[in-house]
Structure 1
Amino acid sequence: MTHPVDVHVGKRIRHRRWLVGMTQQQLAEQVGIKFQQIQKYETGANRVSASRLWDIAEALDVPVSFFFEGIGDQVESKPASGAFPADLMGDKEALDLVRSYYAIPENQRRRLFELARVLSNVA
């Protein structure tokens, strides 16, 4: 049975990897392991040792503490409308959207943001 902390750390690894646009294979190569091991870490099936977590943190350019952020929030708070997933940053589609959004030039991005704000107020 997987431990909730291992699952949380795995989700944070996957979250950061998606955010920087890195594949499991690329991360595995930087850390010196096989991509299957990254898969197991991300699902929480295997525990990440301290030294391996250190290497992963360096490869993903975050402090080790990043992987434990939000660990005390065991109860996921859902918005009243239920319009989006409780684990928004664990949702691949949401991360892809955020990555794409920040790839847009700033002046256009601000206009897109205002459009989205107006549309969400209409709905």
Structure 2
Amino acid sequence: MAGEESLDRVEKPEHRPSPIDVHVGSRVRLRRTLLGMSQEKLGEALGLTFQQVQKYERGVNRIGASRLFDLGRVLDVPIGFFFDDMPDSMSGVTAGFRSRLAGFAETQEGFEDDTMNKRETLELVRAYYRITEPSVRKRVFELIKSLAPTE
């Protein structure tokens, strides 16, 4: 049949991950890394392979609602955490509306900072939270703030 042949020749559009899926995946990776958890351990906790976790973190596979709920539980964060710091241009949601949603952070217009995805930042935060004495941790925090240039 001619109709079937024409269907075979139709080129499929290249699949590109949604920017929102990529953002949510990067937040999964951020939280997993901050906890010092491997992709294998996260996969075990969710009943997934580490390859599936990799695909979620890259945004290649979309994370469904029930899986997002499970991720929040395993990573000990509210679901809104995965959408925090999403640029307004990506979400189509105004910053004012986003600030009213539980767990969503208000972001500055056009502000895109890769700092939270740098290995140095993640290692610093993990080391900071390994300081068990609250008074020592507070002094370290104050020291770091005093070393930074004033705005």
After TM superposition, the score normalised by the length of structure 1 is: 0.78
Q: Does 1:62 align with 2:73?
A: no
Structure 1 runs (4+) deviating above 6 angstroms are: none
Deviation at 1:40, TM superposition (A): 0.7
The structure whose RCO (Cα within 8 Å, separation 6+) is larger is 1
Q: Deviations over 1:42-94 (max 9, x none)?
A: 0111111222112111111112221112224446526xxxxxxx122222320
Number of residue equivalences:
115
- Indicate conservation of the 8 Å contact 2:87/2:111, yes or no: no
Q: Does 1:113 align with 2:141?
A: yes
Partner amino acid for 1:50?
Answer: A
Residue of 41, 50, 53 corresponding to 1:26: 41
Deviation at 1:100, TM superposition (A): 0.4
Query: What is the percent sequence identity of the aligned residues?
Result: 49
Q: Where does structure 1 lack aligned partners over 5 or more consecutive residues?
A: 79-85
1:2-81 matched pairs, under 5 angstroms: 2-74=17-89, 76-77=110-111
User: In structure 1, what is the equivalent of residue 130 of structure 2?
Assistant: 103
Q: Where does structure 2 lack aligned partners over 5 or more consecutive residues?
A: 1-15, 90-108
Distance 1:76-1:13 versus aligned 2 partners, 3 A rule: farther
Where 1:77 maps in the other structure, the secondary structure is coil
After TM superposition, the score normalised by the length of structure 2 is: 0.66
User: Which is greater in Rg?
Assistant: 2
Q: Deviations over 1:13-59 (max 9, x none)?
A: 01111122211111000000101010011011111122211211111
RMSD: 2.2
Distance 1:54-1:115 versus aligned 2 partners, 3 A rule: closer
- Indicate conservation of the 8 Å contact 1:57/1:63, yes or no: yes
Partner amino acid for 1:109?
Answer: R
